[in-house]
Amino acid sequence: MDKPYTGGCACGAIRYSIASEPLFSNHCQCRDCQRESGTGHGSYATFARDGVTVTGEARRWDMVGDSGNVKTRAFCAVCGLPVYMTFAAMPGIFTIRAASLDEPTRYKPQVVTYAARGHDWDHLDPGLTKFETMPPM
């Protein structure tokens, strides 16, 4: 990798730098991601937790996903932008919101997850593989 993935919230109070390539990149159409994004899906890149540096204080809230596992969503208390997620059952990964990247063109989605909950008006790349729920990791 030539350079780290960097990004943060809209006001700059939270910043991250990631020194590896994504393990997984997806558009998620589950209802939780729809509600959080305010649209038909959320777009995410997931990385190994090693090599991730975060500065600034994030506010966090826990929720239980369809798997029954707790996921923690982190957002900026100043500007409110959702920035990243962590998962209690998978402490070795770190997931960022694609829109929080300084260079969002580096985001390359691989699949659509929870396509069963997608809406006709949320048009995603038809060439992406779609999973009705979350594929096995």
Q: Is residue 137 part of a domain?
A: no
Q: Is residue 125 part of a domain?
A: no
Q: Is residue 38 part of a domain?
A: yes
Mean pLDDT computed over every residue of the chain: 94
Q: Is residue 128 part of a domain?
A: no
User: Which pLDDT band, with edges at 50, 70 and 90, does 137 fall under?
Assistant: low
Q: Please tell me the pTM assigned to this model.
A: 0.92
Q: How confident is the model at residue 136, as a pLDDT?
A: 75
Beta bridge partners of 64: 70
CATH code, domain carrying 82 = 3.90.1590.10
Domains: count for the chain: 1
Q: How confident is the model at residue 134, as a pLDDT?
A: 84
Give tens-digit pLDDT for 98-118. 999 999 999 999 999 999 999
User: Which pLDDT band, with edges at 50, 70 and 90, does 2 fall under?
Assistant: confident
Q: Is residue 110 part of a domain?
A: yes
Give ∠ CA 101-130-137 in degrees, rounded to 5. 70
For the cut 90, the answer to whether the pLDDT of residue 28 exceeds it is yes
Beta strands in 5-133 (DSSP E): 5-8, 15-18, 24-28, 42-48, 52-55, 58-64, 70-76, 82-87, 90-97, 111-113, 129-130
For the cut 90, the answer to whether the pLDDT of residue 15 exceeds it is yes
User: Which pLDDT band, with edges at 50, 70 and 90, does 68 fall under?
Assistant: confident
What six digits make up the tokens of 58? 């994030």
For the cut 70, the answer to whether the pLDDT of residue 1 exceeds it is no
Q: Is residue 102 part of a domain?
A: yes
Amino acid present at 112: V
Domain containing 58 equals 5-118
User: Which pLDDT band, with edges at 50, 70 and 90, does 69 fall under?
Assistant: confident
Q: Is residue 123 part of a domain?
A: no
Q: Is residue 9 part of a domain?
A: yes
User: What phi-psi label fits residue 51: left (phi over 0), alpha (psi between -120 and 50 degrees) or beta?
Assistant: left
